[in-house]
Each structure stands twice: as C-alpha cells, then as structure tokens.
Amino acid sequence: MTPEMPTEDSAPRGDGALSRRDLLLRTAAGGAGLAAAPLLGTTPAFARASGGAAADAGKLVVGAFTDGAITVWKKIIPLFKQQTGISIQLLTEPYDSWFAKAFQDGQSKAGQFDIYIMDDPWVPQYAAAGILEDLGQHGIVGDAGFAKPFLELGYWPPRSGPRIKGFESKKPALVALPTIGDLQTMTYRNDVYKTAPKTWHELVTVGEAAMKAGTIQDAIVFRGVKGNPIVTSWYPIFLSYGGKFFDNNWKVTFNSAQGKAAAEFFVGKLKSLAPKGVAEYDSDQEGAAILGGKAGAIIQYTGNAIKSDDPKLSKEVGKLDFAVVPKQAKAIAQIGIFIHGVSTSAPNKDNAITFMKWFATDKAQTALASFGDVPVRIKPLKNPALIKKHRLLPTVLAQINAGAEARPRTPDWGAVESILGTELNKALVAGKGGGDALDRAATQATAYLKRQGYYS
C-alpha cells in the first residue's frame, strides 16, 4: 500500500492548487482510507499516508543546508502534507553552520530536528557518533530501485571498501536514504566543441584553439579556492587518471604517479586555459562563467547545470550541452548527493519514518524530478516524460554507468580534504608543483590519520 502520488502527467499545480474535482475525489479517498484503516490493520502513521487531503497529523522538523536544489525540494512539502496530514517545517542554514548545528543537536540530544538533510560525506561522521537512527529497525530497506552508488552512501559502516578502526566487524546499517541525486557531469559549449570532448586531451586541444580564435575567453572554468572547492574540481581528473586516495589499510596513496600527473595537469595546463583569477573561484564564480558565456566547458554539479536552459539565468540558452566527464584512463565523476537520516533524538520519530517511506517511492521521486531536482531512483531517471522536461537526466544516468565515486567513507575525510585542498591551492597559485603539493599533503594527512589511531 503506497500513498497516492502524482505521475509525471498529473504533477501538482503550482502552490498546491487543487481543482474542485480533485478535492472531492481526495476527500472521498481520505474518508474511505480512514474507515478502512482499522480493518486493514495498518499503523496510524501509514493510515494517514493512505488518504488524500488528510487531517492534521502533527508535524516534522527537517533541517537542511541552503542550496538551490533544496529550494526545489521544498515543493514536495505541500504534497506530503496533502497525502499524510503531516506538516513539514523546513529550517535551512548555510552549509558549514548546518553541519555543526545538526551534529550538536544530535550529540546533545537537543531534539530540535527530526530529519537531517546532509551532504553525503557527513554520514560517516554522524553515524560514527551514533546520532542517526538505524532505519532497518523501522522497516525501511534499501531496495534495488535506488541508484546503487547513491544508496550505498546511506550505510554505516560501508558495505564495501575499507573500514575505520572500531567498525571493522560491525554489521552495516542503513542510517540514511538518498534525497536528491547529484553528481558531476560536463557542461560544454556546442559551438566550441562540435561533439562532447571525450578525453581531457581533446577538451584542452579544442578549447585552446577556440581561445586563440577568439571564440571563447577561457576553455574551461573550475573552482580553485582552498579546501573542498579545489578538491571537488580536481577529483574527476584524479579519478580519471586512475588515482586512489587510500589503500585498504587507509595508507595515503593520492600522491601516486597517477595522482601527481593529474595534479600537474590541473595546476599547469588546465590553469592556463582557465580565467586569470581561478585560484579564488568558488561555485558561484564558475557557475557564472559558464552561464555567462565566458567559458567553453565545466565539470559541475547538477544544481548549476539545470540552469543552462533558463533564459533568466543563462546567456547561452541552446548552446550548452551535457556529457559525461572526459576520460583519461577512465571517465569518473564525483558523487555528492543530498542524503537524509532520522535523528536518534527526533521528537516526531514516527512522522519522520513515515516521511522516509513516502519519499523513497518512485512516485515521490517522479514528483521531485518533475519539479526540477535529480531523482535518486532509477525508474524516474529513465522516465521518458521526465527526460523530455529534464534533459540532464540521461547524462546523469550515463555518468553513473560510466563511473561515479563518492568521497572516501571515513569521518576524517573533511580534515584530509582540507589538507589536500590547501596544498593543491598553493600549487595552483604558483601554476606548478602539483606533485610536490601532493607529497606535502600526504605527509600531513598521514600524520593526522596516525593521531586519530588509523595505523596503531
């Protein structure tokens, strides 16, 4: 028994407006559902979920970080209220402060939030600290309908790959479910690149020629700011060159020959084809460069890519196409999904679980995609009607199939990323020394991980 959801053809009207016919039908369905609930032996929460225009059934407090994708995600709130009677209060904060606030809330058991919407690398930190509910205990399973690389990020400890000390023999538990599918893909100018550049070499060669011809100001744009931004931009190059961050014993391996080649290419050749001040570029500046017509190509997350066809946001409508990231040894992008888990101190835990079940369905994901976000389940990703409206979806699926990797599954990734991002940024400013930067970062990261007990 699943809640009634709109299909792509019956997506809700703006502001949750209902026709009189809809209202009558849903009221009747709601009444019938309520009457039948005791006979069917359903739980009260599920009974609420089964009717339309349900009566007030309490609330649910969801916290998230401010992001364009969350602005779109908000549109499902009236739909959930309509079908379950549960109101969602969404509280948003800037990325960094939300990370700290949610963690403090969970750890101090303040109970200010029921559901945390997180960035996927937060899951190891939150789960290791024991502040996320084991969803399996509430009957929630990670079914095969989810895109597997997305779903895997909800398990702690991870079901594959190395595990950190103290969690080696623990049984993986599902502690979070993917919220919005997000990963890097390439956006390129179709008047500069006649076909999508398949390799980094092609991207550089054609882009350089276009720069010389004056067709384009910069062949590529990326994030150069220290820390997470620069590592995010370097990530697909590093993975495509065949680099690995750690071995199975958490020994740092990112300063391998492949890693160094990727770093030298990034801080040298790629910088020379990027805007002059790229070392201070963050997501807002790189996004503006591609949408403003200054750059020929970008590897970016979907939040900015979906603006390509919006004449209010893009100067290059019709000139921007999508493709999987260029290849070296492989063509691998970074996954960075929104993922949500229930706080162990949630005051409205039943409602939170109801939401998790509701949101994990193909129908809810279809509704989400119809509003503009990228779904996390395969069926909506392949839905022809949705693809017609949302032309990025096939590229997202193609990138998942070509290769997409999440960041290493350790609570200490943030610290390692900060070290790596600082050293890479120094090399980018200098325009050389990518390999040396990786060596320095590896020394610091090893010392840090040793202090955290990784190698004892």
Partner 1 sequence: MAAQRTARARLQGAGFDRFLPYLLLAPAVLLVLAVVVYPLVYGVQTSTKFYRFGTAISDVGFAQYRQAWNDPLFRGALWTTLKFVTAAVAIETTLGLGLALLCVRELPFIRTLRMVLIVPMVITPVVVGIVFRLIYASDVGLFTSLSGLVGGGSIGILDNERGAFWGLVFLDVWEWTPLIFLILLAGLQSLPQEPFEAARVDGAGTWRTFVDHTLPMLTPVLVVAIVLRSIDAFTTFDQVYVLTHGGPGTATQLISIYGYDTFFRFQQYGYAAAMLLMVALIVLACAFLGIRLIRRQAATA
Which residues in this chain contact partner 1 in the complex, by CB under 8 A? Answer: 96, 99-100, 103, 107, 125, 128-130, 224-227, 275-281, 285, 288-289, 294, 411-412, 414-415, 418, 422-423, 425-426, 428-429, 444, 451-453
Q: In angstroms, what is the minimal distance from the CB of 425 to partner 1?
A: 5
Give Rg (Cα) of the chain: 23
Q: What residues contact 388, with CB distance under 8 A and at least 6 apart?
A: none
3-state DSSP of 359-417: HCCHHHHHHHHHHCCCCCEHHHHHCHHHHHHCCCHHHHHHHHHHCEECCCCCCCHHHHH
Residues paired with residue 342 on neighbouring β-strands, in sequence order: 115
Q: In angstroms, what is the minimal distance from the CB of 309 to partner 1?
A: 23
CB atoms within 10 A of CB 431: 12
Closer of 396 and 428 to partner 1 (Cβ): 428
Task: Evaluate the omega torsion of the peptide bond into residue 158 and state whether it is cis, within 30 degrees of 0.
Answer: no
Crossing angle for the helix pair 228-240 and 257-265, to the nearest 10 degrees = 120
Closer of 351 and 410 to partner 1 (Cβ): 410
Closer of 131 and 376 to partner 1 (Cβ): 131
Q: In angstroms, what is the minimal distance from the CB of 226 to partner 1?
A: 4
CA 266/CA 422 separation, integer angstroms: 14
Q: In angstroms, what is the minimal distance from the CB of 100 to partner 1?
A: 4
Closer of 71 and 107 to partner 1 (Cβ): 107
Per-position DSSP letters for 29-81, written without gaps between them: HHHHHHHHHHHHT--HHHHHHHSSSPPP--EEEEEEE--HHHHHHGGGHHHHH
Closer of 260 and 271 to partner 1 (Cβ): 271
Closer of 11 and 419 to partner 1 (Cβ): 419
Closer of 118 and 369 to partner 1 (Cβ): 118
Q: In angstroms, what is the minimal distance from the CB of 351 to partner 1?
A: 26
